[in-house]
Structure 1
Amino acid sequence: MGNVLIVLISRISPHLHTPMYFFLNNLSFLDIWYTSSIVPKMLINFLSQNKTISFDGCFTQLFVHLSLGGTECYLLLAMAYDRYVAICSPLHYTTIMHTSLCIKMASGCWMGGFINSLIHTLFALRLSFCGPNIINHFFCEVPYVLELSSTDISLNKTIIFLCAILVIMGPFFLILITYGCIISSILGISTSVGRKKAFSTCASHIIVVTLFYGTAIFMYMRPGDSHVVNQDKMATLFYSVVTPALNPLIYTLRNKDVKEVVLEISKKIHVL
């Protein structure tokens, strides 16, 4: 509901028709489907004795979850670039972050997530699954689905690691570089009020990046033999469920513009 609220108010209010809220709108829309791809089925399994999922359903869940997770990795990078331009080149912000560029960046994020997921899904489907059929996880997470295969999965593990470098570590390091430039620029601001405003603009995004990438790196960038099932389950739940649920709170509680729009809408509803 929090993500739905952000999508609605970013559409309704003309004050939020900016590149920053365009990307936030994309993130909220993505998180709605990201959690919906696993949470309903997971809750059903928690409450029922028959904890099953069909083969087609499992791979559909795997594909959608990977696709949206990869898209979020790239989308957080696009949001960091938007903040970089806003703070380091404020006079050229509207010229650089024009509508066409924002649409192209968002489309590239969605396409990158789709391609990453397609690669993993196709290479997983080439395997044979005729042995164990119990997944030791809350949902169809790709490393644990591969463990059920009766054929060699060394190539799949290599692909997971290489794709994790491109989809997780690559954007993460670029975000670190971006925020290094942002912090350097902020420290150069002469007034304390200006520095505080600039830090406040970036604080919400830094929190989201830390929560999301921290648990994703913990899950995908460790050697295969060092995985601990219970720790992996908690890490996966954190970046798949907890972080998308916290995103609306993080962005709205720290965002003056969003709070003002919500209050304005609530007053209009009250009058009606």
Structure 2
Amino acid sequence: MDSYLGIIGGSGLYEIDGLEKTEWVEVKGPFGAPSDAILTGRLEGMPIAFLPRHGRGHVHTPTSVPYRANIDALKRLGVTDVISLSACGSFREEIAPGDFVIVDQFIDRTFARDKSFFGPGCVAHVSVAHPTCPRLGAACATAARDAQVTVHEGGTYLAMEGPQFSTLAESKMYRQSWGADVIGMTNMPEAKLAREAELCYASVAMVTDYDSWHPEHGEVDVTQIVATLLGNADKARDLVRRLPALLGADREPCRHGCDRALEHAILTAPEARNAELVARLDAVAGRVLG
């Protein structure tokens, strides 16, 4: 199977040096419209699909992002691997603004989002014990180091609903009692849905601030975040530019099983499955549903 890299990220990341044969593509799917059209192209010969998570111009809140439509659209295009690039706050002194974290665990505190493609009439339970793909994460870490970015391999991302930032009490609890390393608003249910869609998924969290716990940095300020984001965008573009050489054009079956996550996950008997729901799952779960 050929590798096809999907990038979910923010403004400016699609302006990547060397991205050729670009075209904005409208993808229609059964879970509604994705956040925006998807920019397709080739980078060092590898097909690339870039999806602005919040839409161009940042029109979606973290809650209103159509996560199911986004993942379905990427799978429908033929994407095999997804890299999530997102801003985050840090709970650790040593993880400073401007650093990148290769996330490998999540605490999901979101509550107002559709978190599964499945439901009544076609029930499935996938494992997210290890919610990211180590192969993709390692490639992102190498690319970050090659791009001269300070990168931390491994970390727990606390996903909050938002759109407000944390209270001081919450920030202290997440940091001290819960052991989270970074905090953001967008990686859940994105990572869970990628697993249901049998896509390899890696999260690169780009630190913009110290949330509200840090006694010397005060509360989160959007102006400060935007300034750091602009610098991080340059680093993120450099990271993405280096990925095709690290991942290679030929993609073997994932040794961690990401591409076979549905193998034993669907519980509803074939004769009891809802035909309408099964039809909606043609891209996400067609491999196992037929």
Does the TM-score normalized on the shorter chain lie above 0.5?
no
Which structure is higher in helix share? 1
Which structure is higher in strand share? 2
TM score, norm. by length of structure 1: 0.29
